[in-house]
Amino acid sequence: MGEHDLENLTLLCRPCHSWVHQQATPGESPVTITEADRSVLLPQDVEVLQYLATHGPTRTGDIASGMTADLSVSAVRERLWVLMGLDNRIESRDRQIVDKDIETGEWGLVDQIENSARGHIPDDQQLLLQRMEDEQVRQALERGCDRSNITEVLGISRRTTFNKVKRAYAYDFPLDAFGRGGRPTGSRPEQSTATAEHESDQQQRLDDVAEQESIDLGRTETWGTPKSNSAADVSRDSDSRSGRPGDDDRMSDELRAHLQEAIESLQEANSTL
């Protein structure tokens, strides 16, 4: 063009400018991407699929560091949730394409993962409550509950409700199998590597805390080393596992009571609507 109007231009940083010209297309995806899929997916999701096909199973931080686009670890994790739950969001898709290994915490294409996190019931109480709350939020929104009412009842941000829905679609937690008394009756899923699973769940909780702190303080999260925890984190983790079982029980009762109150409030809001 002979003349460039500033109103017709978009300012990009150098990494994003490079990505715009190098981004992958759906035709380059290792799995078939349909038009229906593209209504949910973003262009960088194809690159995530390419990375998993080449390097998977792998951890979230490794994927972030290998992306052409300048994405934070938390942003990549959100896209992995979307890819993992794609079959639950797109009616025409009958097969899951991305999964997470519940023992190692690594992501990969479905045929790369041995121990699927889909439908898993965590032993960790805080993570269990998170999975239950995620599914409750998803069901409430699908039944027409107002998002602002949900944020007020649960005391969470609007952005968190979107992440909860993504996570709910991804992990497909079997909420219907639970009664009001706790775990479902019958046999529990076999835990073959309890230590590795705990470390995977602990890492995810630490990632979620770091992400929330970044949001609250208005900071941009930078890439980290995904396989290491700080000395302070390890110390706190050791303290939480040793001694003081009574504190854990009281905390569990408080969390359970909070969740029960939230569930009843959501049900009341749903009945009113």
* Residue 30 and residue 64 in one domain: yes
Residues 41 and 161 in one domain: no
The answer as to whether 209 is a domain residue is no
pLDDT recorded at residue 129: 93
Whether the CB-CB separation of 154 and 141 falls below 8 Å is answered with: no
Structural domain contains residue 192:
no
Check whether residue 28 and residue 148 sit in a common domain. no
pLDDT confidence of residue 205: 58
Q: Do 144 and 48 belong together in one domain?
A: no
Give the per-residue pLDDT at 18. 77
| Domain boundary, last residue among 68, 86, 112 | 112
The segments of the chain whose pLDDT lies below 70 read: 1, 179-251, 273
Evaluate whether residue 141 is within a structural domain.
yes
- Mark whether 263 and 131 lie in a shared domain: yes
Residues 97 and 61 in one domain: yes
Domain annotation covers residue 225 = no
Q: What are 51-57's contacts with CB under 8 Å, separation 24+?
A: 52/98, 52/107, 52/108, 52/109, 52/112, 53/109, 56/106, 56/107, 56/108, 56/109, 56/112, 57/101, 57/104, 57/106, 57/107, 57/108, 57/112, 57/113
The predicted pLDDT at position 98 comes to 97
Asked if residue 265 and residue 131 are part of one domain, the reply reads yes
Per-residue pLDDT, 81:
97
Tokens linked to 183: 């775990």
Domain check: are 101 and 131 in the same one? no
Q: What is the dihedral of CA 217, 222, 227, 230, to 10 degrees?
A: -50
Could you give the CA distance from residue 234 to residue 212 in angstroms, rounded to a whole number? 19
pLDDT of residue 221: 35
| Euclidean distance between CA atoms 191 and 110, whole angstroms | 20
> Looking at 64, 83, 112, which one is the last position of a domain?
112
- How high is the pLDDT of residue 111? 95
Same domain, 64 and 28: yes
What is the structure's pLDDT at 124? 92
Among candidate residues 205, 234, 233, 197, the one with its CA nearest the CA of residue 123: 197
Domain final residue pick, 85, 112, 139 = 112
- Domain of 51, in residue numbers: 12-112
> Does any domain span residue 216?
no
List pLDDT tens digits, range 40-51.
998 889 999 999
Residue 190 placed within a domain: no
Whether 191 maps to a domain, the answer reads no
pLDDT confidence of residue 246: 55
165 and 38 in a common domain: no
Classify burial at 178, counting beta carbons within 10 Å of its beta carbon; exposed 0-12, middle 13-18, buried 19 or more: middle
Do residues 94 and 48 share a domain? yes
> Which CATH number does the domain housing residue 27 bear?
1.10.10
Instruction: Report yes or no on 182 lying in a domain.
Output: no
Q: Mark whether 44 and 135 lie in a shared domain.
A: no
Q: What's the number of domains the chain is made of?
A: 2
